[in-house]
Amino acid sequence: MKYLVTGAAGFIGFYVSKVLTSQGHDVVGIDNINDYYDVNLKYSRLTELEPVTKFRFVKVDLADRTGIANLFETEKFDRVIHLAAQAGVRYSLDNPFAYADSNLIGHLTILEGCRNNNVKHLVYASSSSVYGLNTKMPFNCDDAVDHPISLYAATKKSNELMSHSYSHLYGIPTSGLRFFTVYGPWGRPDMALFKFTKKIFDGDQIDIYNNGELARDFTYIDDIVEGVVRVADCVPEANSKWNAELGSPKNSSAPYQIFNIGNGQPVALLDFVDALEKSIGIKANRNMMPMQPGDVYKTWADTDDLFKAVNYQPKVDIKHGVQQFVDWYRAFYKV
Ligand SMILES: NC(=O)c1ccc[n+]([C@@H]2O[C@H](COP(=O)([O-])OP(=O)(O)OC[C@H]3O[C@@H](n4cnc5c(N)ncnc54)[C@H](O)[C@@H]3O)[C@@H](O)[C@H]2O)c1
């Protein structure tokens, strides 16, 4: 099968491209290689993909409507895994327009490509941040998600809404995946695990928000990727029996579905820091800070729907996952 993977130089897109090609699929990966974080890491991921004959990289911006339209028309993709986005909750307070350009316009460009070229399945990244002010735990895709607390979260919820309208209007099967704090080797420098690791090695203080009273459903990269490729094979169908009064928000009369992909076990931030200190073998210099605007207190994924649909439950525990990351970090940055 021929796949388009957007955000292929990014953390998750890099792994998804590797796994799809190893399964025998042809993958065209696209990315604009923006400088939100160190571009050398993005280029290094692409270098890893270079020997893979079934992978081809095209540098293009999602905002380039003609470029993306031409790509869809020439390549005739069977499926699209759309992971390119402006990620990060905190940065959306500083640079909101980057989110409108990449996540709203960019998502529309991909939807239009799918609409005009008979793509058989669009799988796209949503986020646990859509749960916003929700407090009922664990977070379930049956819950209403109408109260985002960052613009990033609002764009991800918008992606789900935009996708539903295209599934309804044009019959495009779409699957939205709410990822829960993804971590692992080749991970993002703007995320806590990477930042803390760097600071501990450099002997700098680490900032611990809300005095450590936070918990995250950390999900190891291999678990995320396994979920993504399994969902790609699980194409949603229109369900004529669904109706808006009785039906769930996670599916529809249109060929549309939403899943959580999380580990299903929230870890307290301080336990996470303990695990990191043990893996590195150095005690962190902890700087306790107040809560940050835009952040949520706790995330916890209900993953029953994912298990029922694709017979897979994320399973890597935090100690093992953090150790894998630290081993990679040491080797990559030679520390
Ligand atoms: N990593 C997580 O914990 C997490 C959690 C929830 C959701 N997500 C979502 O998963 C997806 C992948 O995340 P990631 O962690 O791999 O992030 P990432 O930043 O490493 O990867 C995203 C890639 O998209 C590219 N990109 C951004 N805007 C673009 C544009 N306009 N045109 C072309 N390319 C563009 C970037 O250069 C980057 O390489 C994103 O949609 C993100 O919002 C990630």
User: What's the 3-state SS for the chain?
Assistant: CEEEEECCCCHHHHHHHHHHHHCCCEEEEEECCCCCCCHHHHHHHHHHHCCCCCEEEEECCCCCHHHHHHHHHHHCCCEEEECCCCCCCCHHHHCHHHHHHHHHHHHHHHHHHHHHCCCCEEEEEEEHHHHCCCCCCCECCCCCCCCCCCHHHHHHHHHHHHHHHHHHHHCCCEEEEEECCEECCCCCCCCHHHHHHHHHHHCCEEEEHHHHCCEECCEEHHHHHHHHHHHHCCCCCCCCCCCCCCCCCCECCCCEEEEEECCCCCEEHHHHHHHHHHHHCCCCEEEECCCCCCCCCECCECCHHHHHHHCCCCCCCHHHHHHHHHHHHHHHHCC
Atom of ligand 1 nearest to the CA of 181: 3
How would you class 325 by CB atoms within 10 Å of its CB: exposed for 0-12, middle for 13-18, buried for 19 or more? buried
The pLDDT tens digits for 181-193 are 999 999 999 999 9
Q: Residue 296: what pLDDT?
A: 87
Q: Residue 294: what pLDDT?
A: 82
Q: What is the pTM of this model?
A: 0.98
Cβ of residue 45 lying under 6 Å from some atom of ligand 1: no
Cβ of residue 34 lying under 6 Å from some atom of ligand 1: yes
Phi, then psi, of 215 in degrees rounded to 5: -140, 145
Atom 1 (ligand 1) nearest CA: 182
| Residue 103 CA to ligand 1 centre (angstroms) | 9
The two structure tokens encoding residue 147: 């109260």
Q: Residue 255: what pLDDT?
A: 98
Q: Residue 293: what pLDDT?
A: 87
Q: Residue 264: what pLDDT?
A: 95
* Residues assigned a catalytic role: 152
Q: Which of 133, 87, 142 is nearest to 260 (CA)?
A: 142
The pick from 15, 19, 32 for probing ligand 1's pocket by mutation, whose C-beta has the most ligand atoms within 8 angstroms, reads 32
| Residue 61 CA to ligand 1 centre (angstroms) | 13
The pick from 6, 17, 33, 34 for probing ligand 1's pocket by mutation, whose C-beta has the most ligand atoms within 8 angstroms, reads 34
Cβ of residue 160 lying under 6 Å from some atom of ligand 1: no
Q: Residue 283: what pLDDT?
A: 97
Residue ranges of the chain whose pLDDT lies below 70: none
CA atoms within 13 A on the CB side of 262: 28
| Residue 198 CA to ligand 1 centre (angstroms) | 21
Residue 28 Cα distances to 95, 118, 218, angstroms: 29, 17, 29
| Residue 11 CA to ligand 1 centre (angstroms) | 7
Cβ of residue 12 lying under 6 Å from some atom of ligand 1: yes
Q: Which residues are 261's β-sheet partners?
A: 179
Cβ of residue 114 lying under 6 Å from some atom of ligand 1: no
Cβ of residue 11 lying under 6 Å from some atom of ligand 1: yes
Atom of ligand 1 nearest to the CA of 14: 16
Atom of ligand 1 nearest to the CA of 13: 16
Cβ of residue 100 lying under 6 Å from some atom of ligand 1: no
The pick from 41, 83, 150 for probing ligand 1's pocket by mutation, whose C-beta has the most ligand atoms within 8 angstroms, reads 83
